[in-house]
Structure 1
Amino acid sequence: MHPAVRSVILALSLGALAGGSGRACADATADSHDTDARYFDLLDLHGTPRTASDRSFNIFFDAGSWHGYSLPPVDDPATGFTGPFVHSLRAGQWVGLRMAELQLQDAATHRDIALVPLESHAAPGYLVRSFQAPALAVKQALFFADSWHALVRIELTSSTAQDVDLGIAGQVMPSLAAGLAQEGDSVVQTFPRSRSRLTTRLHVDDAAAYRVTLAGANYRIDSTQAMHLQPNQTVVVFVDQTLVYDAQAETPPPVDDAKAWLQDRARWADYLKSIAASERPDLADDVTRRVAVKAAMTLLGNWRAARGDLHHDGVIPSYANPDFNGFWAWDSWKHAAALAQFAPELARNQMRAMFDYQATDGMVPDCVFLDQAGNNWRDSKPPLAAWATLEIFRATGDTAFLAEMYDKLVRYHRWWFQARDHDHNGLAEYGSTDGTRKAAAWESGMDNAVRFDGIHMLQNGRNAWSIDQESVDLNAYLYAEKRDLAQIAEKLGRGQEQKQWLEEAAAMRRAIQTRMFDPADGYFFDAKLGRDERVRVYGSEGWAPLWAGVADADQAAAVVRVMLDPGKFATFLPFPTLAKDDSKFSPIKGYWRGPVWLDQAYFGVEALRRYGYEQQANEMTHRLVLHARGLTEQAPFYENYDPLTGQGYQSRHFSWAAASYLLLLRRSASGEHGDRQIE
């Protein structure tokens, strides 16, 4: 379909959606018509599950919901939506095949009214479908009122006076049919070995009565009174599907259906306005806007509300991967930095969710889950928490949040030197609490990076082990964190602490420059403990000192020459995690041995900018945006990419890839580091 025609169709759809709730709704949606049309179908959300665990197609989540939905396949003529998929049920599974399937009959003849499908689309913050019958137009919009309530807003517009009988039907997964029950006017679905409940209601008006019918895996809710449709007037009814994770502990708040729609539209209008304000001027608007909005939709699609042992909202790495049903520390810092641009409260909560589990010694665990028994305390993750906190402050000016976080950040920072500095020389190592190489590699975030192939473990104390090399990225991050903590201390009026942080940073900078830069090779490397030996692997960690501002000008120039070498890092999609000419370079299945990870690519671009290589940074940004296959079309964000072809691999809908693209595309990218200058 031509984009202009498609935009007109969506605008008409939104106009009709506005009409059924009066002037206020029309006003609220009028300004968003053109904006929504521009971002129509950024991702293809059509599909139906073949199995309960099917994640082969895209799912719509929003507002922190733990249940999600899709549009039925394009050739499916029935009304309603696919789902729900319940992410909090074990590793996540489909519990329903269809919900809100509209059942219409002529009240006089009791004949079914056949609806012909017209349009089926995903828009920012909702799914929308439209149908027609003789003298009747029907539209359905699925959106989230909050993290508990998914609502379907159903509009019926008749061109003649007529009376109709209205109901809605749904189908659950056959294996879960035994959990269906009636409770008053509602259908309730429960699940084996779970306290979760899914409740479905039909709301025609406050005076309506309903009849519930259950038959195997199918259910139906009918209004017992006919609905009178006046000519050229729109009647609106709602279906509410509410998921409660723990029915013994949660009482979801009541929802005003009509107000919920207005609030949803206003919330998304704010998101889009904030994202549009941060676009880069050096890329075409239609490219940057679509990629940036898709990135925001990805982050918000992976947003999960506080439930169980997760005490604050946060963003999971990817709903498409059953292993990623929790919050990870390193991911969280990147998510928060990007969310600060358009969803600052979620950004704050993302930070809080991890620090809720900070240990008495200052350690923050690798990851946390709905059931804290699964939390990983074998390792932590690279220290970017102060950077993320400052990003939130720069976006919001929220000094109270700095005060809330400062002492926690200090304890986390000090933990690295207490638990991970084997020889007490002021440079830290990655390590683990259990003494395993595997957990130590996890702590780096670069699980199987080539530089760790020859590591050995050294015990520092009880539950504290280091690898036998000082990693250049870790120490660059710790240097940057000292500078960031100095800024926070200054904002909080702690002048003496600011001075101390700056003195520590200066000493650490000299140590990194001396110990980890090789003048002959012109690059930064990890250094082996106890001897003047570097681990000469050209990886993405080597430009972390430029991102942090550690390198002097000559060192930076040497590293930039390596970064811009087409035989090493200036590939078709630039900045792979291992140089192209390394014998272990594996761009497709290598994980951290050659694919492009967008966080490292983003740090690479910012490394160039920090030292004045603005033109080169812009060129690499263009490649990252335009050469990632399908990124400017309907492809999702992937966990990593092939640097030679731009093809995405591993988990789809990957949050930190989306976050990194948002950070890359913001207008103020060259000033991102704020007051943290090169010494």
Structure 2
Amino acid sequence: MKDSRIGRGRFAALALACMLAGGGHGARAADATGDAARYLDLLDMHGSPKSAGDRSFNIFFDAGAWHGYSLPAAGESSSGFSGPFVHSLAGGQWAGTRFATLTLRDATGRQALPLSLVAEHAGPGFLERSYGASGLTVRQTLFFADSMRALVRTEITAADTRDVALSMESATMAVQGSRLEAHGRQAVQTFDGSPWRLVTTVLANEAAASATANGYRLELARPLRLKPGQTATIFVEQALLDGTAAHLPGVDGEAAWSANRERWAGYLKHAAPYHLPGVADDVADRVATKAKIILLGNWRAARGDLHHDGVIPSYSNPDFNGFWAWDSWKHAAALAQFAPDLAREQMRAMFDYQADDGMVPDCLYLDKAENNWRDTKPPLATWATLAIYHATGDRAFVGEMYDKLLRYHRWWFKARDHDHDGLAEYGSTDGTRIAAAWESGMDNAVRFDGASMVRNGDGAWSLNQESVDLNAYLYREKLELAELAGVLGKRADQAMWLREAAAMKTQIQQAMFDAKAGYFFDIRLGSHEPVRVYGPEGWMPLWAGVATPEQAQAVSRVMMAPDKFGTLMPFPTLARDNPKFSPIKGYWRGPVWLDQAYFGVEALRRYGLRSEADDMARRLVINAQGLTGQGTTYENYDPLTGHGYQSPNFSWSAASYLLLIEDASSTSLRGQDLR
């Protein structure tokens, strides 16, 4: 990773530094001009934890940090920020309720100067709160210097000459045997049975840390002497350590803030304006930027048994504290557009655990003993790698990944092709049907209701049906491997992949398309009878480019039919007229999942149905409740109302929205017009 982290795998201390500067606040991204000001408050970041596990509101994470913060709940006017939330502590716990609550006193009379909240904002890469106090203006900005430490930058400007005493308090939460000790300039919060700890170090020369009844206090030993128009800038650095490091070198607060602004300017920069027909350009721009913020909010740095950085599915769900393969491929494809270093890390994180036979596990955790080897996930790793190459031209990364991708691709046909006919099935390593369904990514999809398991060999089992989406993915992967082989000058490999793709294309077209129904279906092993359930798997041959123009035209009619998939929020995971259609609680039996919907839009675009694709894309953006306002992305959506359900701040939904808008903005649309 090329970011501002200091020392991979090490964690920083908490620090406070003070410096005086003449004149105003200086150029800031949070000022009324610039990209950051355009993107203020895309998400509502207000909330105060009512319990240690409270995830009912949005939390600000950045730079891969495992700890995060929020603006206090609306109406709470006292200074500071909610937090920290420590994601690595018992799956995610609030270790504190309030951080950096500021107290100012007139140094002469020692009388407290009440702070009045003036404004507060969540911007790209920072939280900010401003106050007024009897001739003083105060601004607190919380941002991340790197994956280990967050800083609060407090600026105090006086209208007249005065001496001001300053202290800051932080309230801790009694969680997991939390203990607090203060030694000189340092306060340390530890937790029973956990290597994680929060360390607070006051870096000002004359300052001290002390424990209080509910937390700790940081206090400057001497008052600040302020002159008219002069600003005192105080930095508080909070960071998380585990057992790998006792401390870190100090950080320059102003340099860290400048680096933060430079990093985020890079994220916000894009080659051309975002444009989605039927959606105002500023709305498309804000939705795409919100998607970036959500993805980066779920970024977690390499820690424990996670050897590279990656993106978790959602910090809002206590079950999602690791990296999942299918999610990772989608995250990487989207990250390639604006954070390619992180995209590469995301790919490496999963392939760190590739088995000797080529399999990549379903998911990875801080503790590798929890990794799931019962199944893998659909083969989109080559698609993601190619997206990174197209965005970066990084031939070295292609060389790093090619053999790994080749082995993963071949594994499918060795472990998941029961009858050795060149068409694969989803399956599991333990012979359970539930793990086989997980492998599809569509855990409870109706198409698997009548499926059973067949044994292929030691640790290799298949469902008794060849899935059309799996084989469409594998067909496209052969073409993508051919392109990667060409990048590396492997001409023999390139020709081999193209021959294999051509043969597989014919098989899918002939065996898996039901001409009477005008749709692609899974087929049973042996009988080759179609499993006639209308789901998103049926448009994957269009996304992959495997369908004939005539087949694509038939499938597109089904996709756009109001009684099938042309709903208010289009492309549900089960046709609307199916008796088992359950749009709210059905999980994969009716709700819209944005990855499948994005693939549906791209399927139409690939075969020249541009206006139809644009209309479906517009509906996915406009009809998702809250998306164009301050709402976040969700795991899935009700296709009839657009209401979001399951996990908020869901990464692959954010990734899908970004790709949806990015692709619509491209002038290089593919395919021929079928009409």
TM range (shorter): over 0.9
Preserved contact between residue 169 and residue 217 of structure 2 (Cα < 8 Å): yes
Report the equivalent of 1:117.
117
CA drift of 1:76 comes to 1.2
CA drift of 1:213 comes to 2.0
- SS at structure 2 position matched to 1:263: helix
- SS at structure 2 position matched to 1:323: coil
Q: How does 1:49-448 map to 2 (within 5 A)?
A: 49-175=49-175, 178-204=178-204, 208-244=205-241, 246-249=242-245, 252=248, 254-274=250-270, 277-280=273-276, 283-448=279-444
CA spacing shift, 1:138–1:276, aligned 2, 3 Å: farther
Instruction: Report the Cα distance in structure 1 between the residues aligned to 2:650 and 2:248, rounded to whole angstroms.
Output: 29
CA spacing shift, 1:219–1:571, aligned 2, 3 Å: same
CA drift of 1:21 comes to 6.7
Instruction: Report the Cα distance in structure 2 between the residues aligned to 1:393 and 1:418, rounded to whole angstroms.
Output: 28
What are the Cα deviations for residues 112-171 of structure 1, in whole angstroms up to 9, with x where unaligned? 111111112111110000011111000000000001010000000000010011111011
Instruction: Report the Cα distance in structure 1 between the residues aligned to 2:669 and 2:425, rounded to whole angstroms.
Output: 25
Preserved contact between residue 608 and residue 671 of structure 2 (Cα < 8 Å): no
Report the equivalent of 1:12.
none
Report the equivalent of 1:7.
none
CA spacing shift, 1:586–1:375, aligned 2, 3 Å: same
Report the equivalent of 2:491.
495
Preserved contact between residue 402 and residue 488 of structure 1 (Cα < 8 Å): yes
Preserved contact between residue 610 and residue 670 of structure 1 (Cα < 8 Å): no
1:33 correspondence with 2:33: yes
One-letter amino acid of the structure 2 residue matched with residue 65 of structure 1: A
Report the equivalent of 2:508.
512
CA drift of 1:485 comes to 0.2
CA spacing shift, 1:296–1:555, aligned 2, 3 Å: same
One-letter amino acid of the structure 1 residue matched with residue 181 of structure 2: A
CA drift of 1:183 comes to 3.1
- SS at structure 1 position matched to 2:78: coil
- SS at structure 1 position matched to 2:598: helix
TM-score, normalised via structure 1 length: 0.94
CA drift of 1:285 comes to 1.4
CA spacing shift, 1:178–1:342, aligned 2, 3 Å: closer
CA drift of 1:669 comes to 5.9
When structure 1 is superposed on structure 2, of 359-368 and 222-231 the one drifting more is: 222-231
Report the equivalent of 2:447.
451
One-letter amino acid of the structure 2 residue matched with residue 353 of structure 1: A
CA drift of 1:20 comes to 7.6
CA spacing shift, 1:252–1:609, aligned 2, 3 Å: farther
Instruction: Report the Cα distance in structure 2 between the residues aligned to 1:143 and 1:157, rounded to whole angstroms.
Output: 20
Percent identical among aligned pairs is: 61
Report the equivalent of 2:12.
none
| Runs of 5+ unmatched residues, structure 2 | 1-18
Q: How does 1:6-25 map to 2 (within 5 A)?
A: none
When structure 1 is superposed on structure 2, of 284-293 and 332-341 the one drifting more is: 284-293
Preserved contact between residue 517 and residue 525 of structure 1 (Cα < 8 Å): yes
Preserved contact between residue 95 and residue 176 of structure 1 (Cα < 8 Å): no
CA drift of 1:524 comes to 0.1
Instruction: Report the Cα distance in structure 1 between the residues aligned to 2:492 and 2:369, rounded to whole angstroms.
Output: 41
One-letter amino acid of the structure 1 residue matched with residue 252 of structure 2: D
CA drift of 1:670 comes to 6.1
Instruction: Report the Cα distance in structure 2 between the residues aligned to 1:74 and 1:189, rounded to whole angstroms.
Output: 28
1:545 correspondence with 2:541: yes
CA drift of 1:202 comes to 3.7
One-letter amino acid of the structure 2 residue matched with residue 371 of structure 1: D
CA drift of 1:25 comes to 8.9
Report the equivalent of 1:586.
582
- SS at structure 1 position matched to 2:154: strand
When structure 1 is superposed on structure 2, of 665-674 and 423-432 the one drifting more is: 665-674
One-letter amino acid of the structure 1 residue matched with residue 439 of structure 2: E
When structure 1 is superposed on structure 2, of 538-547 and 117-126 the one drifting more is: 117-126
Instruction: Report the Cα distance in structure 1 between the residues aligned to 2:576 and 2:350, rounded to whole angstroms.
Output: 35
Preserved contact between residue 366 and residue 380 of structure 1 (Cα < 8 Å): yes
When structure 1 is superposed on structure 2, of 275-284 and 406-415 the one drifting more is: 275-284
Preserved contact between residue 425 and residue 470 of structure 2 (Cα < 8 Å): yes
Preserved contact between residue 487 and residue 675 of structure 1 (Cα < 8 Å): no
One-letter amino acid of the structure 1 residue matched with residue 217 of structure 2: R
Instruction: Report the Cα distance in structure 1 between the residues aligned to 2:525 and 2:308, rounded to whole angstroms.
Output: 39
CA drift of 1:282 comes to 5.5
One-letter amino acid of the structure 2 residue matched with residue 344 of structure 1: P
| Runs of 5+ unmatched residues, structure 1 | 1-18
Report the equivalent of 1:617.
613
CA drift of 1:466 comes to 0.4
CA spacing shift, 1:250–1:387, aligned 2, 3 Å: farther
Instruction: Report the Cα distance in structure 2 between the residues aligned to 1:392 and 1:209, rounded to whole angstroms.
Output: 50
Instruction: Report the Cα distance in structure 1 between the residues aligned to 2:30 and 2:36, rounded to whole angstroms.
Output: 10
- SS at structure 1 position matched to 2:189: strand
CA drift of 1:178 comes to 4.9
CA spacing shift, 1:311–1:474, aligned 2, 3 Å: same
Report the equivalent of 2:13.
none
Preserved contact between residue 387 and residue 484 of structure 1 (Cα < 8 Å): yes
- SS at structure 1 position matched to 2:647: strand
Preserved contact between residue 174 and residue 217 of structure 1 (Cα < 8 Å): no
Preserved contact between residue 21 and residue 258 of structure 1 (Cα < 8 Å): no
Preserved contact between residue 175 and residue 191 of structure 2 (Cα < 8 Å): no
Higher relative contact order (CA 8 A, sep 6+): 2
Provide the aligned length of Structure 1 versus Structure 2: 656
Report the equivalent of 2:14.
none
Q: How does 1:639-654 map to 2 (within 5 A)?
A: 639-654=635-650
Instruction: Report the Cα distance in structure 1 between the residues aligned to 2:508 and 2:20, rounded to whole angstroms.
Output: 64
Preserved contact between residue 275 and residue 293 of structure 1 (Cα < 8 Å): no
Preserved contact between residue 523 and residue 555 of structure 1 (Cα < 8 Å): yes
Report the equivalent of 2:3.
none
CA spacing shift, 1:579–1:668, aligned 2, 3 Å: closer
CA drift of 1:602 comes to 0.3
Instruction: Report the Cα distance in structure 1 between the residues aligned to 2:432 and 2:213, rounded to whole angstroms.
Output: 51
Instruction: Report the Cα distance in structure 2 between the residues aligned to 1:251 and 1:514, rounded to whole angstroms.
Output: 64
Preserved contact between residue 544 and residue 604 of structure 1 (Cα < 8 Å): yes
One-letter amino acid of the structure 2 residue matched with residue 662 of structure 1: L
CA spacing shift, 1:251–1:521, aligned 2, 3 Å: farther
Instruction: Report the Cα distance in structure 1 between the residues aligned to 2:568 and 2:139, rounded to whole angstroms.
Output: 45
Preserved contact between residue 203 and residue 237 of structure 1 (Cα < 8 Å): no
CA drift of 1:90 comes to 1.4
CA drift of 1:532 comes to 2.7
- SS at structure 2 position matched to 1:351: helix
Report the equivalent of 1:14.
none
Instruction: Report the Cα distance in structure 2 between the residues aligned to 1:189 and 1:649, rounded to whole angstroms.
Output: 36
Q: Which has the higher helix share?
A: 1
CA drift of 1:253 comes to 5.0
- SS at structure 2 position matched to 1:599: helix
